[in-house]
Amino acid sequence: MNPYLAYTHERNFGCRIREIVYRGHRCVTLENERLRVLVVADKGADILELLYKPIDLELLWRSYHGLRRAFPDRASSPLAEGPFREQFAGGWYEMLPNGPQPSVHRGASFGFHGEATLLPWDYQIDQDAPERIAVTFSVRLVRIPIRVEKTLTVEAGRSTLVIDERLACEAGHSVDVLWGQHPTFGWPFIEAGCRVFLPPCVARVAAQPPVGRRLRPNQEAAWPHLVDVEGSAVDVSVIPGPDARSHDFVRLDAFAQGWYAIVNPHKDVGFALRWDHALFPTLGLWQIFRGGQDYPWYGWASLMPLEPACDLPSGRSTIPRRTAIQLEPGGALTTRFEATVFTGYSDVTSVFADGEIRGTPSHR
């Protein structure tokens, strides 16, 4: 016990939790000596901030309008694909019960990226101690009877955020869902010369990729070697700068392990995510570097999501697919994600549980 302090519930040291209101939204921050994580409970339990405190470095991208104030939508006209784009603040959100295309399942329509990221979530504080903090966020989806819970945990002295998730089916019969995570990275973490590291996998570019692409359509190769629209070889693991004026999406499959790492060699800092690749066998690498000249990007955005998911379909389709997750009545599914900020590596060869990184030291 600390001999100078007989209580710790009003502390501003070690691990701590803050409950705040930001732009009209209930938010929760989880913080220790190394990380500050801001979760917007009233908008999807999105992670809007992942700050590495030792060098004041934000890893997640923030959109042009950021987190919009909480009031009834006053859009010029409703979008056929749903309200997601106008509510997209950036950060890290949940894809559920469908992915990046509008879908229909058992008579219910879903817009871009489903409804979990648009709903207000409840939360409860599970543990609040200087050594460890944990908060559980929960929601029942509106158009499909699924309950979602996710517990975020931060421990003292560690730069790893642990996310434990649970999906529970409350329907009277089985339902199908597409489930994934959508962390979106941007400047000042992402800049020209950063590298993406993955275990061996297959990279695919669709036959009809986005307008403004630098990669040739309809190709498949071992990561990270692809071909650009001029026929030249491209190492896709090397991140270009905003002068690329490009917009690309690469689907990555056939992983032997579920992890990726992004290293910024200029700042000697990296981010690693580890997940269950049996449950989430697909990773979407979406890169916009001042590309996309029309709505909604208008040539101003530089961002790079890396999205583990059970599937990432292209085109308008219904939810049920060969790779969809089927939940039986009363059934539940649990999984864990581990997000780690690290320093001291120029490349990464493995990411293990509890944030252990292996690779080549940067010698800085």
Q: How confident is the model at residue 293 (pLDDT cuts 50, 70, 90)?
A: confident
In a domain, residue 58? The reply is yes
In a domain, residue 9? The reply is no
The confidence score (pLDDT) of residue 314 equals 52
In a domain, residue 2? The reply is no
The confidence score (pLDDT) of residue 58 equals 98
The confidence score (pLDDT) of residue 196 equals 98
Encoded tokens for 55: 């060098």
The confidence score (pLDDT) of residue 116 equals 95
In a domain, residue 1? The reply is no
Which backbone phi and psi does 252 adopt, to 5 degrees? -120, 130
Residue 69 maps to which CATH number?
A: 2.70.98.10
- Indicate whether 74 pLDDT > 80: no
Total count of domains within the chain: 1
Distances (CA, A) of 114 to 70, 200, 311: 19, 30, 14
User: Residue range 99-119: average pLDDT?
Assistant: 85
In a domain, residue 7? The reply is no
Which domain covers residue 179, as residue numbers? 16-361
The confidence score (pLDDT) of residue 284 equals 96
- Prior bond of 188 cis (ω within 30°): yes
**pLDDT per position as a tens digit, 14-42:** 999 999 999 999 999 999 999 999 999 99
User: Residue range 285-308: average pLDDT?
Assistant: 91
In a domain, residue 113? The reply is yes
Q: Range with the lowest mean pLDDT among 64-68, 107-111, 277-281, 327-331?
A: 107-111
* Torsion from C-alpha of 272, 275, 277, 282, nearest 10 degrees: -60
User: Residue range 223-252: average pLDDT?
Assistant: 94
Q: How confident is the model at residue 319 (pLDDT cuts 50, 70, 90)?
A: very low
In a domain, residue 51? The reply is yes
- Rounded to a whole number of angstroms, the distance between the first and last alpha carbons of the chain is 38
Give the CA diameter of the chain.
69
Is the four-CA dihedral 49, 131, 344, 271 of positive or negative sign?
A: negative
Report the chain's mean pLDDT, rounded to a whole number.
92
* pTM metric for this prediction: 0.94
The confidence score (pLDDT) of residue 320 equals 42
Is-contact 101 313, C-beta < 8 A? Answer: yes
In a domain, residue 258? The reply is yes
More confident residue, 323 or 282: 282
**Would you report the helix, strand and coil content of the chain in percent, each value rounded to 5?**
5, 50, 50
